[in-house]
Chains A and B, each alone.
Chain A
Amino acid sequence: MKNFISVCNAIWALIVKEFQIIWSDPKNRAMILCPPVLMLAIFAFAATFEVNNISMLIYDKDNSQISRALIDKLSNTPYIKHIHMIDNPAELTEKLDNEKAFVALTIEQNFAKKIYLNESPVVQLISDGRKSNTAQVVSAYITNILASFQYEIEGQSFPEIPVKLVTRNWFNPELNYQWYIVTSFMGVLVTVMMLAITALSVAQEKELGTFDQVLISPLKPFQILIGKTVPAITVAYIDLTLMIIAGHFIFDIPAARGYLMIYSCIFVFLLSIAGIGLFISTICKTQQQAIFGVFFFLAPTFLLSGFITPIENMPMLLQKFSYINPLTYFFRLVRGLFLKNIDNITIWANIWPLLIIAICTLSFASWFFSKKIN
């Protein structure tokens, strides 16, 4: 018992030391506290697949009342910001080429006439494929506008629609894109911070020679590991709390499963990241190598996490990678916990893989420490 208390004391000394090192430099403090929340807010406002502020070219060969009415209707739509009228195809090419406009609509000469004759007039819609995603969305918008325009001018009662589609968006009724970004980036930013702390800390101590001092103490490898893990997780919780506060007050994100559950589940995620960071740290000799190691892990993990492209749309081989990608599980967990009110079974389904990652990486790091000592 006495022995146990003294071991706890020793581990506590490690934890306090680690904290003091991280915290003693005001630049470090600033780096830990400010950028995560700042970048979270910037990215939340920046990243959107919504399409706004489109510049459009219109080449109106008809120049009739009806074509002008169509242009009028287009100019009143929210996502089209500018409409430039042009009068020759050369200008159209030039403006599209130089990205002065994103989409061009050409109205044929007998547009009005054809409508009166109940023939099908043709409008040509050219979008800029250099941004294929936006091009698709814009084409769809404009097609819809043209359809509704048609009903208006014809005044014709189209056959009553027999099938109505009722859309309900669960978990995020207003389709608030920021909720998606904020919940995702909590994980990404906290991963950056934790990896930097854990991966560099051992490498730095190796460079300074203090790691030998710790190794030579009576502490066992796994105790040293606890001393490295706890401070990193604490810093991560501080950052997460700041980001959760921002999420709650700035972005109104609900906490469907309650904060207690959120905080507890996140612990397992943080443990897995700490394990990975320490794993990187043990295989690197210098801090520079550790930094390279962090990015060798971070960049692919982020890209394959399902944040940009859903995992089910990736090639099979890369989908397999998601089984060992902690961010994937984290995203499912946080969205589930904040927005969806998932049940315990679903929570567990995303927790145990994280636990396995944590156990594997931490035991490797621990094994490596003990090898180093003997």
Chain B
Amino acid sequence: MDSIAEIKNLNKTFKNPAITAIKDLTISLPKGKVIGLIGPDGAGKTTLIRLLLGLLVPDSGYISVLGMNPVNQTNLLHQKIGYMPQKFGLYEDLSIQENMNLYADLKELSENQKKEQFEWLLKFTDLKPFTSRLAGNLSGGMKQKLGLGCTLLGKPQFLLLDEPGVGVDPISRRELMKMVYSLRNQGITVLWSTSYLDEAEKFDNVILLNNGKLIFNGQPEELTQKLEGRVFQTSHFLESPRSYLRAIMKNENRLIDATISGQNVRIVSKDKKLNPKLSADFYPVKPRFEDAVIDILGGAPMQFSPIAEQVNIKDVPDIVIKADNLTKIYGTFTAAKNISFDIKRGEIFGLLGPNGAGKSTTFKMLCGLAKPSSGKGYILNTDMIKNPSLARAHLGYMAQKFSLFSTLSVMQNLKFFSGIYGLQGNKKQQRIDQMVKIFELSPYLKQAAGNLPLGFKQRLALACATMHNPPILFLDEPTSGVDPLTRREFWNHINSMVEKGVTVMVTTHFMDEAEYCDRIALIYQGQAINVGTPDKLKKSGETMEDAFIRLIEEYNKRSK
């Protein structure tokens, strides 16, 4: 089989902070395929892409892309490949057309080529009606398409996409996938790095890296097959799914993964035998690629978080958060319209919806970062508008991209967040010590938060948000761009806290995470079009993602 790139004994290290990004990597990328590049954070995915592009110079080893050496023949190579970096590489203050013109000129397309390719691309990406809109005003999904469009100019033979799905809703990701496959059918090779494993499942080939080393290279099915007969759905247990999850984590040592899926728990076993100790119905289900990746990476963390021991929630009413006809109008644009729901004590409440649908606005109104144009939000029966300070003392907030002070050390961040929530003296020190222990931060205490591996950033952000033992947690895309193992660990912490009575409001683009929620509000076009349990939203046999897309399509039909 023809290969598009050959890599032999490749090594790459960084100084400051000292990291071995790629270690003795030998691999051949097949031509004409969609190749997924996956692996935990810090596995070396971005580094590998940059090495292939000649943006980084390897320490040692051999790389050849399309028969060229990326370091010496950079310019020649760049004419034949397309690259979309993590933030899409678009100029936000330029319109769609202007971005496309720029990249067409940079690739020296002739006027005819330009015309022909623009026409094709605008049709291909469905961006035609918006050509004069500024890239900065596009939704995540549209930016992603435009990024891809610009990359495709000049008809590259090899396309490299670095995490194109981060922060983008499932509908847009599905469309992108479709587009990429139609490109492959035209003979273009695609290398796609991602942390969404449901995406990776559909790739022709995947490369799994861990700590700079190659773990697996082949078709995803090869890996998934190994799990046949080891994955089960359990149901009809007496406890709540969360208690049941804790119980099996504690009592069952043959599991490598267990996750909540609506009212059920999905488990992956080390082998085909399953311990009869489990007092529930269970039946085998089809393994997913994610199960296989977790398996090959040594299994998910299977202990419930010790953070539960520290949680102590008192005097919390039954209805913890209440949205009462929340409406937000920016100029002539209605970002949120009459949104109402109650969140009960100890509930995980998910806000789902496409980019730009109004879920961030709703989220911000409830935690007090935006003032509703009309309607009211209550936290613990306190009106968010009348007494914001009081209400805010009871919530923990974890922002998108973790929003830590990146130049401060881990310890300095911990001290700061404990400080602004009024902790002091021994209590403060005690709390910090606990957090360091629970989240295993001790090796990193002196390191700047900005240089932490993504997983540790997430841990630190959660530690900072829960420092003052809040009864309510607001999590805004807390797992965006994070690998599955780290996400499991994160949800272990959240589940532990919820069991002790903490109430959580979360936004996410991971559909499997939506299933962890007790209830979900689906926000679309500024309205809560559906509110209910995950099982209620899904029709039988549907995945959450299918349900998401179906509900939105149904709504679109109705409103027409």
Cβ contact within 8 Å between A213 and B403: yes
Q: Which residues of B are found within 8 Å of A216, using beta-carbon distances?
A: 367-369, 392, 395, 397
Interface positions of B from 473 to 499, Cβ below 8 Å from A? none
| B403 touching A212, Cβ below 8 Å | yes
Q: Does A12 contact B (CB under 8 A)?
A: yes
Decide if A220 touches B389 in the complex (CB within 8 Å).
yes
**B407 at interface (Cβ–Cβ under 8 A)?**
yes
In angstroms, Cα B390 to Cα A218, docked, is: 7
Q: Are B399 and A212 in contact (CB under 8 A)?
A: yes
User: Does A13 contact B415, Cβ atoms closer than 8 Å?
Assistant: yes
Q: Which residue of B lies closest to A218 (CB)?
A: B393
Are A209 and B403 closer than 8 Å at their CB atoms?
yes
- Asked whether A210 lies within 8 Å of B421 as measured between CB atoms, the reply is no
Interface pair B408/A374, CB less than 8 Å apart: no
Residues of A within 8 A of B369 (CB): 212, 215-216, 373
A16 with B419, Cβ < 8 A, contacts A9-B424, A216-B367, A217-B392 known: yes
Task: Evaluate contact between B419 and A10: CB separation under 8 angstroms.
Answer: yes
Residue B385 at the chain A interface, CB threshold 8 Å: yes
A303: interface (CB < 8 Å): no
0/1 interface trace, chain B 387-419, chain A, CB 8 Å (1 if under): 011101101010111011111110010011111
Stretch in A18-26, A145-153, A162-170, A319-327 touching the partner? A18-26
B450 to chain A, nearest CB (A): 10
**A10-B389 Cα distance, complex, nearest whole Å:** 13
- Determine the distance from Cα of A345 to Cα of B409 in the docked complex, in whole angstroms: 49
Q: Are A9 and B419 in contact (CB under 8 A)?
A: yes
Q: Are A17 and B405 in contact (CB under 8 A)?
A: yes
B420 at the interface (CB under 8 A from A): yes
A260 at the interface (CB under 8 A from B): no
User: B421, A208: Cβ atoms under 8 Å?
Assistant: no
Given the complex, which residues of B lie within 8 Å of A25, measured CB to CB? 407
Report if A5-B367 is in contact (Cβ < 8 Å); known contacts: A209-B401, A209-B403, A213-B403.
no
CB distance from A113 to the nearest CB of B (A): 79
- Which residues of B are found within 8 Å of A213, using beta-carbon distances? 397, 399, 403, 417
Q: For the complex, is A122 an interface residue (Cβ under 8 Å from B)?
A: no
- Whether B419 pairs with A218 at a CB distance below 8 angstroms is no
Residue B423 lies at the interface, judged by CB distance under 8 Å to chain A: yes
B-chain residues with CB within 8 Å of residue A208 when the two chains form the complex: 403, 405-406
Say whether B405 contacts A6, CB under 8 Å: no
- B420 touching A14, Cβ below 8 Å: yes
In the complex, what residues of B have CB within 8 A of residue A261's CB? none
Within the assembled complex, what's the spacing in Å between the Cα atoms of A9 and B448? 23
Q: Among A7, A12, A24, which residue has the most Cβ atoms of chain B within 10 A?
A: A24
Contact B406 A13 (CB under 8 A): no
**Complex: A138 Cα to B409 Cα, angstroms:** 61
Is A318 close to B, CB under 8 A?
Answer: no
CB pair B420 A10 closer than 8 Å: yes
Q: Is B371 an interface residue (CB 8 A)?
A: yes
Structural contact, B392 and A17, CB atoms closer than 8 A: no
Q: Chain A residues with Cβ under 8 A from B407's Cβ?
A: 20-21, 24-25
CB contact list, A120-141 vs B, under 8 A: none
Instruction: State whether the Cβ of A42 lies closer than 8 Å to any Cβ in chain B.
Output: no
Find chain A residues with CB under 8 A from B416 CB.
13-14, 16-17
Residues of A within 8 A of B389 (CB): 218-220
Q: How far is the CA of A21 from the CA of B368 in the complex (A)?
A: 26
Range for the number of chain B residues in contact with chain A: 20 to 34
Instruction: Report B-chain residues with C-beta under 8 Å of the C-beta of A20.
Output: 405, 407-408, 412
- Is B422 among interface residues, defined by CB-CB distance under 8 A? yes
Known: A217-B392, A374-B371. Contact between A13 and B408, CB under 8 A?
A: no
Q: Which of A210, A219, A220, A374 contacts B385 (CB 8 A)?
A: A374
Knowing A24-B448, A208-B403, A374-B371 are in contact, say whether A214-B420 is a contact too (CB < 8 A): yes
Out of B404, B409, B412, B422, name the residue touching A10 (CB < 8 Å): B422
In the bound assembly, the distance between CA atoms of A191 and B415 in angstroms comes to: 31
Within the complex, which residue of A12, A24, A215, A220 is in contact with B419, where a contact is CB–CB below 8 Å? A12
Residue in chain A with minimal CB distance to B465: A213
> Smallest Cβ distance from B445 to chain A, in angstroms?
14
Residues of B within 8 A of A220 (CB): 389
Task: Find B424's partner among A5, A217, A218 (CB 8 Å cutoff).
Answer: A5
A14 close to B419 (CB less than 8 A): yes
Question: Do the beta carbons of B405 and A217 come within 8 Å of each other?
Answer: no
Contact with A along B416-448 (1 / 0, CB 8 A): 111111111000000000000000000000001
| In the complex with contacts A16-B415, A213-B399, A217-B421, A374-B368 CB distance below 8 A | yes
Q: Is the CB of B399 within 8 A of A209?
A: yes
In the bound assembly, the distance between CA atoms of A24 and B421 in angstroms comes to: 23
- Can you name the residue of chain B whose Cβ is closest to the Cβ of A24? B407
Taking the closest CB of chain B, its distance from the CB of A38, in whole angstroms, is 25
Tell me the smallest distance from the CB of B172 to a CB of chain A, in Å: 23
A214 to B, closest residue via Cβ: B420
- Expressed in whole angstroms, the Cα–Cα distance for A25 and B421 within the complex equals 26
Q: How many whole Å from B448's CB to the nearest CB in chain A? A: 7
Which chain A positions have C-beta within 8 A of B401?
209
Partner of B368, one of A16, A209, A210, A373: A373
Chain B residues contacting A5 (CB-CB under 8 Å) are: 424
A373 close to B405 (CB less than 8 A): no
Q: How far is the CB of A219 from chain B (nearest CB, A)?
A: 6
* Cβ–Cβ contact B448 & A6, under 8 A: no
Say yes or no: B403 contacts A374, CB within 8 Å: no
In the complex, what residues of A have CB within 8 A of residue B412's CB? 16-17, 20
* Most chain A CB neighbours (cut-off 10 Å) among B395, B403, B417: B403
Which residues from A are CB-within-8-Å of B385? 374
In the complex with contacts A13-B415, A16-B415, A210-B404 CB distance below 8 A: yes
Closest chain A residue to B421 by CB distance? Answer: A217
Q: How far is the CA of A14 from the CA of B395 in the complex (A)?
A: 18
When distances are taken between beta carbons in the complex, the residues of chain B under 8 Å from A10 are 419-422
A374-B406 in contact (CB<8A): no
- The distance in angstroms between the C-alpha atoms of A117 and B395, with both chains bound, is 103
Instruction: Across the interface, name the chain B residue whose C-beta is closest to A215.
Output: B369
What is the bound-complex CA distance between A53 and B424, given in angstroms? Answer: 66
Chain A residues with Cβ under 8 A from B423's Cβ? 6, 9
How far apart sit A199 and B238, CA to CA, in the bound complex (Å)?
A: 58
CB distance from A373 to the nearest CB of B (A): 6
Interchain nearest-CB distance for A200 vs B (Å) = 13
CB distance from B460 to the nearest CB of A (A): 13
Docked pose: A7 CA to B421 CA in angstroms? 8
**In the bound complex, do residue B419 and residue A210 qualify as a contact, i.e. CB atoms below 8 Å apart?**
no
A239 to B264, CA, bound (A): 64
Quote the shortest CB–CB distance from A222 to chain B (angstroms). Answer: 12
Binary interface encoding of chain B residues 346-369 relative to chain A, with 1 for a CB under 8 A from any of its CBs, else 0: 000000000000000000000111
Q: List 6 A-B contacts (CB under 8 A).
A: A5-B424, A9-B423, A13-B420, A16-B416, A212-B397, A218-B389
Beyond known contacts A14-B419, A20-B405: 15 more, CB 8 A cutoff: A6-B422, A10-B421, A14-B420, A17-B412, A24-B407, A24-B409, A208-B406, A209-B399, A212-B397, A214-B420, A215-B368, A216-B368, A216-B397, A373-B368, A374-B371
